[in-house]
Amino acid sequence: MEIQFMGQLSLRWNGSEKIPSAGKPRTVLALLLLNEKRPVTTGSLITELWGENPPRSALTTLQTYILQLRKCLAAMSGQGLARISSNTLVTWPCGYLLRVSEDATSDLAEFRRLTGAGRSAEREGDIVTAVSHFREALGLWRGPLFADIEHGPVLRAEAVRLEECRLSLIERCVEGDLILGRHREAVSELSALIAQYPYHEELTAQLMIALVRSGRRQDALAVFRNLRERMVEDLGLEPGGRLHRLQYDILSGDVEESGRRSGSAHATQLRGAQGADFAALT
């Protein structure tokens, strides 16, 4: 069994993929897969499908979706419907349980494994290996969690959490590149990222440091000015204290020391905060 969580939902079994095309049965399947080996209550499934005001027929309709999914799983696996109902997608007290086979693989499980390996290498001081693992994990990303499925409260929260973890992992990769002296490479990546996240102060700080270490002091100051203008005009807010201090250090010429100090503190912060983020996905 092969499962893809990141991007469009994909479930293949024995080389076959026959999951429903209709939206709501796919939502049920997504929630069951996300909670593999753990039962999901009918209440949670109904809320995910219809929110706080489900129709009167919600339970009956949900049972119809479960039957559709069992038929799809039976067709993919070559097993009978009765076997699927008793061993794979089973009725549980107050809900349903999807038992994923022991040899199942998923992009999310591989993402977790690679980020864990990267964190271990990072703790051992092997930044090159850490960044390599992190980059490989990011390479699995095909898009947000279940991008082709309408999200209810549970899937929406998980999608947000995974996106936050992905962004934290990107910051971690860039931090490693800065430590390794890959400043010019970091400039290109960070410039593209800031186009996507124009108010992200940590990415902006990393870009300023990368620019200064690439001999582009004036460009680094321009990045700060542009962010400040956007934040004041669009949000009515000033950038945080770290960015102001970084700007002052660049202006005063205390750039390399500031960059090293900020980088070290940032790495320590990431090891704590991001570790919690990644652990929440396991």
pLDDT above 70 for 1: yes
Domain termination site, one of 75, 103, 131 = 103
Sign of torsion, CA 215 232 242 193?
A: negative
Residues 99 and 208 in one domain: no
Structure tokens at 179: 């430590």
Q: Which amino acid is at 264?
A: S
What are the pLDDT digits (tens) for 206-259? Answer: 999 999 999 999 999 999 999 999 999 999 999 998 899 999 989 888 766 434
- H or E segment to which residue 161 belongs: helix 153-179
Q: What pLDDT is recorded for position 79?
A: 87
Reduced to 3 states, what is the DSSP secondary structure of residue 116?
helix
- Residues belonging to the chain: 282
Q: For residue 116, tell me if it sits in a domain.
A: no
Number of domains forming the structure of the chain: 2
Cα distance between residue 270 and residue 253, in whole Å: 27
**Which residue range(s) make up the domain with 57?**
2-103
What are the pLDDT digits (tens) for 138-180? Answer: 999 998 889 889 899 999 999 999 999 999 999 999 999 999 9
Which residues neighbour 277 within 8 Å (Cβ) at sequence distance 6 or greater?
A: 161, 164, 165, 168
Residues 96 and 155 in one domain: no
Q: What pLDDT is recorded for position 255?
A: 63
Residues 6 and 96 in one domain: yes
Is this prediction's pTM over 0.75?
yes
Residues 31 and 89 in one domain: yes
- Distance from CA of residue 273 to its chain's centroid? 15
Residues 221 and 159 in one domain: yes
Q: For residue 175, tell me if it sits in a domain.
A: yes
pLDDT above 60 for 96: yes
pLDDT (average), residues 6-25: 87
Q: For residue 139, tell me if it sits in a domain.
A: no
Q: For residue 159, tell me if it sits in a domain.
A: yes
